[in-house]
Amino acid sequence: MDREELKKILPHREPMLLVDEAELKEENLAVGKYTVKGGEWFLQGHFPGHPIVPGVVQCEMLAQTCCVLLADSVRGHLPLFAGLDKVRFKSPVKPGDTLEMSCSLVRSRPPFYFAKGQGRVNGKLAVSAELSFAIM
């Protein structure tokens, strides 16, 4: 899915649509990519001279990728973060990097869904987290 196809699932729009492309690889594996261009709003002031994608933005990128797993449940509804657990940042994500995300669903009790995700740059782990959502 490209950005236009993602807009059919996600309620997010620019500048908060933070996935360039995503797809369902297996029944329970969604992968997504975002290339950091350098002029994004979230890099302004974080940090002057040494821009790094904020951790909370990386978590949002993972969450948006997770929504591909929940496409049928999310379409026409509002996916809201319910929690983040075991979040770890292992290496910085900088302009020019492509964050490659992978997410899988761990369990569900509608309207709540629980997932885990990882983001890697050039195969190196940058972020990992357990995420929970409420589909409203």
Could you give the residue numbers annotated as active site?
Answer: 46
The rounded distance, in Å, linking the Cα atoms of 22 and 9 is: 11
Contacts of 49 (CB under 8 A, 6+ apart): none
The rounded distance, in Å, linking the Cα atoms of 103 and 123 is: 15
